[in-house]
């Protein structure tokens, strides 16, 4: 019988190992993903505490321009296009539950001016400044969701802090990167429908930003202010309390309409602190049918939002 060399047997063993099925990577639903492929690891030890900032007391056109804000006058054609935009398709219709409790906000004071109107290729949403150049919003405002979905073109995004009808007192900023998590961009689960926009400006230094907290939310006051589609380009707010909470979501009776997706769910603790990100109206069963709802700020969400805000 012909002898087989030890070297040959070793080669066979190596080939057997390399051809064996490789286990699938167990991706966490909160793993950060981005439109440009950059990797931003969640961080528990923050370099900048997630506290609110009131911005500048005096705002000038020169100061805004120095922050990289576009303050060019808006054309009539652009305004017409803005008025025609709608919230992208989503599960459930954001609704007014019972009497309409919404009140209009005027946007030249903090914290109202730190809330933003977001426009992009698929429509419009709302968001909230969480740092000098970062906006927190819903995942479905930056990516259409699921493995068959796609990022909305970053080049199509404009962010208007404190937009008030035909007036943009703080101009607008463009975007350079958008972020979300695998639970939204791969799985398409509403439990992980949150994201952020990194801007090409530092307008937050002027208009301020909100803090972020991971309080246990049931019973806490809830305030939601954003840009509902039935109130053209103006900011409205509704107040209630957190009626229920699950591991990943918070539920409330705040009145909302499409266009307010991405609005902060917040309460005042010596300044505005975000406890959720609004994304959905009534649908399905249980709490999902009874209440409007959004993503809860748990530790994993907090860490991602802070990491995205701190990213270069």
Beta carbons of 131 and 202 less than 8 angstroms apart: no
Widest pairwise Cα distance in the chain: 93
Beta carbons of 126 and 263 less than 8 angstroms apart: yes
Question: From the candidates 30, 34, 140, 222, which is the catalytic residue?
Answer: 140
What CA–CA distance (Å, rounded) separates 78 from 57? 30
6 carries an active-site annotation = no
Question: From the candidates 126, 261, 263, 309, which is the catalytic residue?
Answer: 261
The set of residues, in sequence order, having a beta carbon less than 8 Å from that of 193 and lying 6+ positions away, is 138, 139, 140, 145, 184, 277, 279, 280, 294, 295
65 carries an active-site annotation = no
Question: 234, 218, 214: which is closest to 226 by C-alpha?
Answer: 234
Residues labelled catalytic: 140, 261
């Amino acid at each position: 019988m012909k002898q087989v060399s030890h070297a040959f047997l070793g080669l066979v063993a190596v080939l057997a190992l390399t051809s064996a099925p490789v286990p699938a990577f167990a991706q966490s639903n909160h793993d950060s993903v981005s439109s440009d492929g950059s990797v931003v690891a969640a961080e528990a030890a923050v370099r900048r505490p997630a506290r609110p900032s009131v911005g500048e007391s005096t705002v000038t056109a020169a100061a805004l321009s120095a922050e990289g804000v576009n303050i060019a006058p808006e054309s009539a054609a652009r305004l017409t296009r803005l008025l025609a935009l709608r919230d992208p398709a989503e599960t459930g219709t954001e609704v007014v539950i019972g009497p309409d409790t919404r009140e209009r906000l005027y946007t030249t004071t903090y914290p109202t001016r730190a809330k933003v109107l977001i426009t992009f290729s698929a429509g419009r949403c709302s968001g909230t400044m969480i740092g000098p150049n970062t906006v927190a919003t819903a995942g479905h405002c930056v990516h259409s969701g699921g493995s068959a979905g796609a990022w909305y073109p970053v080049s199509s995004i404009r962010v208007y802090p404190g937009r008030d009808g035909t007036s943009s007192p703080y101009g607008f900023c463009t975007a350079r990167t958008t972020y979300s998590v695998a639970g939204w961009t791969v799985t398409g689960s509403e439990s992980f429908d949150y994201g952020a926009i990194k801007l090409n400006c530092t307008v937050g230094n002027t208009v301020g930003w909100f803090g972020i907290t991971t309080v246990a939310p049931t019973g806490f006051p809830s305030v939601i202010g954003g840009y509902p589609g039935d109130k053209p380009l103006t900011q409205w707010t509704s107040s209630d309390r957190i009626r229920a909470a699950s591991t990943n979501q918070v539920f409330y009776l705040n009145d909302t309409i499409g266009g307010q997706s991405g609005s902060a769910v917040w309460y005042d603790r010596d300044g505005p602190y975000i406890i959720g990100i609004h994304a959905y109206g009534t649908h399905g069963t249980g709490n999902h049918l009874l209440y409007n709802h959004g993503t809860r700020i748990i530790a994993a969400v907090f860490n991602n939002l802070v990491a995205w805000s701190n990213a270069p």
